[in-house]
Amino acid sequence: MTDDSRPTPQQTTIVSPDPWQGLRSLTRARIGLGRSGNAQRSTDVLAFQAAHAQARDAVHAPLDIKTMQTQLNGEPCLIVHSRAPDRPTYLRRPDLGRRLDAESLAGLEKGSWDAVFVVADGLSSVAATEGAVALYHAMKDRLKDWSLAPLVIVKEGRVAIGDEIAAAMGASMVVMMIGERPGLSVANSMGIYLTYAPRVGCPDSARNCLSNIHPHGLKTVVAADKLAWLMREARQRKLTGVDLKDDAPESMLIEQTPPALDKDTHV
């Protein structure tokens, strides 16, 4: 007699541990994707399509000014518009997004400010809506001895439009908070550009940039500490850009950096 309970060679399945599993939990990048036959797994394909849709939404969605005003809790702000009349034109004509329209420019009053904070939709209105006001509040706490102009919100704006705004308002430096070009792992990343003595035609080499600010990247509190250090150095040395190196104390940043998050379950 034979023992029929024993599996035949065809019934035996050997399951090998996935060597990529541990690495996937450390990054939002799509690494070591599995396969089903000759195709990618349905879960990976669907996740990719969802990320692509989020990126497109981030680019085309209008800036949610009402939500930002709610976040400001009654603080005054100025709302202006670039020379791009609408989103499709803005995306096709980057030059129009770098200048204010005539009505907006005429409405800015000249003052004497240490700095002005400007937020623009850029290429991710979602990022600007979610992150700009929180950073602005964090900076006000760190710059209590500074004279700060009211927050300026720009529709259809690019980085350079902050130069014209600061020059019109008489601000010594401008902090531009703007939505970054979305990728397929992050659609809500915000960047910051700091420029001392801004003017129309200011080269990009005269700016300092902090990027990748979002819940899974550079945290708001860390970005605020780093920006405050750069602003104080800029005021003391009267410059920004390639001549102002990022020498912020590393210990300050490391201590305030939270531990890495587990990778999103849907990615």
* Per-residue pLDDT reduced to its tens digit, 21-60: 788 878 878 888 888 888 888 988 998 999 999 999 999 9
Does 109 belong to an annotated binding site? no
CB 173 within 8 A of CB 114: yes
Does 209 belong to an annotated binding site? yes
Token pair in block for residue 184: 């397929």
Q: What is the pLDDT of residue 9?
A: 57
The domain covering 63-252 belongs, at the CATH homologous superfamily level, to Ethanolamine ammonia-lyase light chain (EutC) (3.40.50.11240)
CB 151 within 8 A of CB 17: no
d(CA 118, CA 116): 6
d(CA 44, CA 15): 21
Show the low-confidence residues of the chain (pLDDT under 70).
Answer: 1-15, 250-267
Phi-psi region of 170 (alpha: psi -120 to 50; beta: other; left: phi over 0): left
Q: What is the pLDDT of residue 266?
A: 42
Domain extent listing, the chain: 63-252
d(CA 137, CA 139): 5
Q: What is the pLDDT of residue 3?
A: 54
Token pair in block for residue 25: 């939990």
The closest of 74, 43, 87, 66 to 153, measured between CA atoms, is: 66
Residue with tokens 């599996």: 7
Token pair in block for residue 233: 């150095």
d(CA 187, CA 127): 7
Does 130 belong to an annotated binding site? no
Model pTM score = 0.84
Q: What is the pLDDT of residue 148?
A: 97
Question: What does the radius of gyration of the chain's CA atoms come to, in whole angstroms?
Answer: 24
CB-count exposure of residue 28 (10 Å: 0-12, 13-18, 19+):
middle
Token pair in block for residue 74: 């009654």
d(CA 176, CA 68): 16
The closest of 222, 232, 203 to 115, measured between CA atoms, is: 232
Q: What is the pLDDT of residue 245?
A: 87
